[in-house]
Amino acid sequence: MSNDGIDIEGGKTRMEVAYGAGDGDDEAKAIVASKEAELGTIFEQSYRPWDGELGPRWTRNYAIFRHHVYGMFRSTGHRHYHPMVRLTIFVILLFSLMPVLMLFLASLTGDGYMADVFSRMWGINRYNLWGQVLGYFPRNLCCWPLLTALVVGGMISDDRKNGTSAIYFSRPVTRLDYTAMKYLSVAVVLGFVIVLSYFIYYTSAIVFNGEGWAYLVDTLPMFAGGLIAGILVVITYTSIGLALSSISQSRFFAAIAFLSVIYGTKLLALLIETQFDTSILYVLSPYDCLAQIGQWLLGIDSNYNHPLAFSLVSIITINAACIALLAARVSSLEVTRE
């Protein structure tokens, strides 16, 4: 069979339809052979190199990103998050917004003793901004680790278990894109809860108290410090979580491993500190390193005895090691069902 049997000039090939740069809806028709085939004919496979234009890389990556993030809000068509997971995340978000409610109530009570108490407990100051992101109880004891564990658990391990990574790697998506988008999706979901709630807290405090520009300018450096701390929390937890997810076979192992890393190191360091009067082991605990850096960023006295540099180095090391592990695992991820 010669080339006249295949419509090369007109229409688009499948590749173009699937990955082409066009908007796709007008001519979304795949034509491979135009001649009606007879029974018993051996198809002469006539390939032609595809020299069409691949859609921009970011659109493909955005599709991966969207797939993971939209799944939080919509139940169909995107990555499936268990309803229980979504409910828990919603509860955590509500809980982290509780100070906003308190500030609102405080703004209703007007001036007086109660308003003073309210504003001291929930108003903007260095300690409260730090606490909104890095306070141990309940934020970092119950909320953020649970949130991360639930979001990150199946992120890569599910692909490994179900072999769905093939869906990505059989398309023009590099492993780097795949990993980066997974990372970004997790970070965005975590950031949605951790950073956004912090942001809402700060802005609502200003709105409810009717503060002016001067106040805003005064507190902005503090706010920025807390914001950086919050972003650091998101990045670190995402790195650890994804690294664990990439080495696990099941999503629950990843989730449990993440929790045991966060709680285990904290508990061990606490045990050593109370007994042997040294806070050095806190460098092993991601939470405590973040807390110390956050204290520095917000200008609060550190309640750790070891130098800040240790925590900084530790956080950089933890992130680097986790990302290296993640990269190594993803680059050796076999495109089969394991």
User: Which of 83-91, 126-134, 165-173, 324-332 is the region at the interface with another protein (rule: CB under 8 A)?
Assistant: 83-91
Complex with another protein: residue 92 or 297, whichever CB lies closer: 92
Q: Does 204 bind another protein (CB under 8 A)?
A: no
Report how many residues bind another protein under the rule CB under 8 A.
32
* Joined tokens for residue 150: 């639930």
Complex with another protein: residue 12 or 266, whichever CB lies closer: 266
Q: DSSP secondary-structure letter at 39?
A: T
Q: Which of 173, 180, 228, 259 binds another protein (CB under 8 A)?
A: 259
Tell me, rounded to whole angstroms, the distance of Cα 266 from its chain centroid.
22
Q: Does 84 bind another protein (CB under 8 A)?
A: yes
Q: Output the CA torsion sign for 223, 229, 231, 233.
A: negative
CB of 301 to another protein, least distance (A): 17
Q: Does 264 bind another protein (CB under 8 A)?
A: yes
Complex with another protein: residue 58 or 276, whichever CB lies closer: 276
Triad 247, 267, 273: Cα angle to 5°? 130
Alpha helices for 110-212 (secondary structure H): 113-122, 126-134, 144-162, 165-169, 175-209
Cis ω before 138 (30° cut-off from 0): yes
Distances (CA, A) of 84 to 87, 172, 175, 257, 336: 5, 34, 30, 20, 29
Q: What does the per-residue mask of binding to another protein show for 121-140, with x meaning CB under 8 A?
A: ----------------x---
For tokens 């590099």, name the residue. Answer: 174
Q: Does 95 bind another protein (CB under 8 A)?
A: no
Angstrom distance (rounded) from CA 80 to CA 313: 37
CB of 255 to another protein, least distance (A): 6
Q: Which of 211, 260, 308, 310 binds another protein (CB under 8 A)?
A: 260
Angstrom distance (rounded) from CA 238 to CA 257: 13
Q: Which of 2, 76, 274, 332 binds another protein (CB under 8 A)?
A: 274
Q: What does the per-residue mask of binding to another protein show for 280-309, with x meaning CB under 8 A?
A: -x----------------------------
Distances (CA, A) of 118 to 100, 121, 129: 11, 5, 15
Q: Which of 37, 271, 313, 320 binds another protein (CB under 8 A)?
A: 271
Nearest one of 107, 157, 108, 166 to 257, comparing CA atoms: 157
Q: Does 145 bind another protein (CB under 8 A)?
A: yes
Which residue ranges make up the site for another protein (CB under 8 A)?
82, 84-85, 88, 137, 141-142, 145-146, 149-150, 248, 252-253, 255-257, 259-260, 263-264, 267-268, 270-272, 274-278, 281
